[in-house]
Amino acid sequence: MRKVVTTFESSTYIMKKLFFGSLAVIVSLSTLRAQSKEVIVAYFGKDLVQLADSAGAAYYRTTERKRPGFIVRDYTTSKTLLLEAECSAFMPTLIVNGKVTEYYENGKRKAEGVYKENNPTGTFRYFYSTGNLKGRQEYTEAGIRYLESFSETGEELMINGKGIFSQQMDNGILYTEVEDYKSVAIFLVDNANDTLYTQTDTPPEYHNGYEGMMRDIAKNIHYPASARRQGIQGKISVSFIVPKTGPIQNVGLASGINEECDAEAVRVVSLLTDWTPAKHKGKIVKSTFTLPIMFKLGQ
């Protein structure tokens, strides 16, 4: 039986905690630039949605001027520090450039690393609530390297760059299978005990191959007239499930550019029903797939 160990959170968890999105601050930008002390700039509910004031807030954010940028801190309303980040801008969108540290509510470090333009870079360290090191990951242009992992008592859990790591999610347990310090498979076992892969050694494939898929997309897609008139263009990502047997399922928007273009991309992908399922280590598995659809003026 393969050993399953508890993994450290991805740095994307930290960025979720940073409540990304447009921010309406409750003090003027000129005031913030003029002051060096820590100032409350926003309140958030339990769902991380920004609130107009402190009523019903679960978290609040502060900024402190530290040239050339700002220190942004997120707290619970009981004044427990959860996160501290070096930022070059915090409105209308947070831009993290520098060290980020996440904390447990007991004050112990949970994770720390460095971001460049909101992207993790270099080595991140993760900790248990006791303060003991949980593990390290390295973020490079080639992807994530899983460097080491430890039990709460300090036992080394990843042997020669190999192991299976688990992370509790709201809808199940996410597993990452690592070989040679890199992930070779990622899959979720949901609360209904259904397994869904997001990474496999053999991804799903359209029945007519890549070129056939491009031809079918080009044949069926229509550039919405209103979007063309407005000069709207860009990449849309459409995700779907490729089951072990049968047509694709759960076709939906992963990221979009415009309501009409988004709907057209989902419609066209929904027509690509026939896929060869993914395999992992020779076994047919249920998987997710995300397909980019480009709308470009002049096409």
Reported as a single tens digit per residue, the pLDDT across 201-249 is 999 999 999 999 999 999 999 999 999 999 999 999 999 999 999 999 9
- The rounded distance, in Å, linking the Cα atoms of 29 and 23 is 12
pTM score, whole prediction: 0.68
Architecture of domain 205-295: 2-Layer Sandwich (3.30)
Q: Are 101 and 111 in contact (CB under 8 A)?
A: yes
- The rounded distance, in Å, linking the Cα atoms of 238 and 266 is 6
pLDDT at 193 over 90: yes
Q: Which of 208, 223, 216 is nearest to 265 (CA)?
A: 223
> At residue 220, what are phi and psi to the nearest 5 degrees?
-105, -20
Percent of the chain with pLDDT over 90: 69
**Letter for the amino acid at 133?**
L
* Residue-level pLDDT at 106: 95
Who contacts 107 (Cβ-Cβ below 8 Å, separation ≥6)?
80, 81
Collapsing DSSP to helix, strand or coil, 171 comes out as coil
Domain ranges of the chain: 205-295
Of 64-78, 88-102, 128-142, 276-290, the poorest mean pLDDT is in 88-102
What is the mean predicted confidence (pLDDT) over 163-184?
88
Residues in the chain: 299
Interval 34-63: pLDDT, tens = 556 899 988 999 888 888 899 999 999 999
**What is the enclosing helix (H) or strand (E) of 260?**
helix 259-270
